[in-house]
Chain A
Amino acid sequence: MQRQNSFKYESQRLASWYFTVAVILFGAQLLLGLVAAVQFIYPSFLYDVLDFSVARMIHINALVVWMVYAIIGSVYYLLPEETGIETVGIGIAKILFWVLTIAVAIVVLVFLFIQIGPAKTSTIWFINEGREYLEAPRWADIGIVVVVVGFVVNTFLTAIKGRRTGVITVILADLIALAGLYLAGMFYTDNIAMDQYWWWWVIHLWVEATWEVLVGAFAAYALIKIVGAKRQIVEMWLWIEVAMLFGSGILGLGHHYFWIGTPEYWWEIGALFSSLEPVPLIGMFVHVLYDWGKDKGERMGEGEEDVTSNNTPALVWLVINGFGNFLGAGVWGFFHTLPQVNIYTHGTQFTAAHGHLAFFGAYATILIAMFYMAIQGKNGIKKLRATFASKMAIFLLSFGMLGMTVALTIAGYEQVMIERAQLGGTWSAYFVAQNEVWMAQAMDWRFFMGIVMTIGFIYLVKDLWTIGRNPQNVY
């Protein structure tokens, strides 16, 4: 650990702490995903010890938390470069990092060892809130809000003191919305329809609005850095993306209000606006390819010899992001977003197929690209080349996720046809579909693809650990 680092700012060093925890939690996510996947195949595995609900809860919470860590890290990383100054209140920012990390560690331990509690308000406050993705107990919610408010204030003060670029303006406005939305998930009600109504405000308005805008902003920053795209143009695209993402995503929320007790008018609103959601995702993909190609062409035209990007692994992950976002969120999302289809696919393995490819394609990929940017910055590398391990990580993670999605899509299809369409969705209908050979095979394939991804992840960790130190990869 005694190597020198070339970070120009303390803010970037703090970013590398956030990234480190993010990678650890990513590993935990995969591990618990594998446990849950095994339980589909051998249901007695860890029965009454670490039940499926616990494995799944940690799987999806580790997912959200590692992504939040990586997002905060990315902002602390690019903030000083965009504004031209050190982050204001960096000392407090570091303390907040430790507060958050200790809180997360406690929550994970409670989830692992205490798991559930009696049917009392105290359980919701101290053990488990029991609402998918928002299981973190209330005390931790409050802690998270305090830390995030601190983070937003740091960002805000830095932005008004330093240079205020379009990228920073977008990020700042978006972070405020993102933090505010979390509050919608922090109350108790005995009305399950009301509960689900506000729950989706957090889940949907995060992943299909505010997080997508962050992706746009990170991609803009990365394109400027990696391929030298022109800020003026990139920021114009960014504003257009914001308009399209929020214009479709905010009312697209309606696609979760078809069947939870909410009025029928959400059928039309949800169908219309969520169908438009893939449009900006196509735009973002085209944008990445266009800027990359155009810039390369321009520099070739100017007679430049070496027209490659200055960070190959980051660029490749960025391109996968463009495509994966479009495929996982846009295409797989559109598959089931019309009420006519969703009445059958709602809450089946089909949803799981979409959830996996969308989270991976839209977020995991770009955040991994940001990890590579930080490696480059940390080691002061002019040009970072992909290693064998970089390529294996890219291939195994992406291929594994695609394979898993295909398996789950087939499982979903079978479940929709047999449990829902044919047998009417009862307890026994559910198990007839679960015990079909197509479902069983799909569950085996999902597990196998999970192993493939885990190997890819090991390559990724190895690469992140070593790529910056090996002069061979650097030129």
Chain B
Amino acid sequence: MSKRKVSVWTDNRFWQRSAAWVTGVAAVLLIWLTFDTMGQIRMGNQKDIDAHIDKRVPSPTVINYKIGYKMNAKRGLEVPTIGGSDANGNSLFTVKQKFFGRDNYTQKEADALVNLGKLGEQSKNCMDCHTLLGNGGYYAPDLTKAWLDPAWGKNGPMQAITGTHSRAEAMATFLQHPGRYPMHARRMPNLHITAREAKGLVAFLKQMATIDTNGFPRGFGKIKEANYAETK
């Protein structure tokens, strides 16, 4: 072996160095991209909303606003809208909506609610049944846009079933006693969620629905005929 002239292509040192270089370059690129992404997904605050700036992860104070999910003419995909939207699917940041009877949550109050909701989401392990942003278990519906699900709206069944008059209250009531409101044979279990925790969870779900997910899930809730086909 050693007497034969060794080509660089069969030289272990060469491949070892190549492996180190390739890994190094890929890692440096990833770290660089990570810095950029971190800047773009940092959670916004009320000042952004006041200044009409779109954030990929908006301020928790979005709970004071009416939110939607519209085809955006410029982006060519569906984007969450905050406080109403124009014909091109851009947010207006003006139309408010009451959340448990109020639409004036301060930054601090809203931050605390979303934080409580996130802690609740982890403590109750929602993600081993549901997917959030598409990741998790496949035993129950994706919750990315659950806040916007037509089932919770005026024409959906949930407000009537739970005896409430808003999305927020219907969701909170359901979450505290899911076993009482079975919509399917596959029920959600009782996770000992208190009224306070439920409010936090709903705030968390509402804020999550405003995250710009590049159009996932596509066409969410757009097919009106399909929505209650199976509950009839």
Closest beta carbon of chain B to A289's beta carbon, Å: 20
Closest residue of chain A to B75 (Cβ to Cβ) is A264
With A193-B41, A260-B213 as given contacts, are A428 and B16 in contact (CB-CB < 8 Å)? no
- Cα A197 to Cα B41 with chains together (Å): 9
Instruction: Report A-chain residues with C-beta under 8 Å of the C-beta of B197.
Output: 118-119
Instruction: Report B-chain residues with C-beta under 8 Å of the C-beta of A135.
Output: 125, 128
With A242-B23, A246-B26 as given contacts, are A43 and B125 in contact (CB-CB < 8 Å)? no
> Which of B114, B132, B186, B227 meets A190, CB within 8 Å?
B114
A343–B129 CB distance below 8 A: no
Instruction: Report A-chain residues with C-beta under 8 Å of the C-beta of B27.
Output: 250
Chain A contact residues, majority secondary structure? helix
Instruction: Report if B1 contacts A (CB, 8 A).
Output: yes
Instruction: Report B-chain residues with C-beta under 8 Å of the C-beta of A429.
Output: 223, 226-227
Instruction: Report if A392 contacts B (CB, 8 A).
Output: no
B226–A119 CB distance below 8 A: no
Closest residue of chain A to B136 (Cβ to Cβ) is A132
Contact-residue size bin, chain B (C-beta under 8 Å from the other chain): 35 or more
Instruction: Report A-chain residues with C-beta under 8 Å of the C-beta of B41.
Output: 191, 193-194, 197, 261-262
Instruction: Report A-chain residues with C-beta under 8 Å of the C-beta of B29.
Output: 250-251
Tell me the chain A residues, 119-150 only, with Cβ under 8 Å from chain B.
119-121, 123-124, 127-132, 135
Instruction: Indicate with 1 or 0, residue by residue over B187-210, a CB within 8 angstroms of chain A CB atoms.
Output: 101111010010011001000100
Closest beta carbon of chain B to A463's beta carbon, Å: 33
Contact-residue size bin, chain A (C-beta under 8 Å from the other chain): 35 or more
Apart from the given pairs A117-B123, A124-B122, 5 other A-B contacts in the complex at a CB distance below 8 Å: A119-B124, A197-B37, A236-B11, A263-B36, A426-B227
- By a beta-carbon cutoff of 8 Å, the part of chain A in contact with chain B is 36, 39-40, 43-44, 47-48, 51-54, 56-57, 115-121, 123-124, 127-132, 135, 166, 169, 188-197, 199, 232, 235-236, 239-240, 242-243, 246-247, 250-251, 253, 256-267, 269, 343-344, 346-349, 351-352, 420, 422-432, 434-435
- By a beta-carbon cutoff of 8 Å, the part of chain B in contact with chain A is 1, 10-12, 15-16, 18-19, 22-23, 26-27, 29-30, 33-34, 36-38, 40-43, 56-57, 111, 114-129, 131-142, 145-146, 149-151, 179, 183-187, 189-192, 194, 197, 200-201, 204, 208, 211-223, 226-231
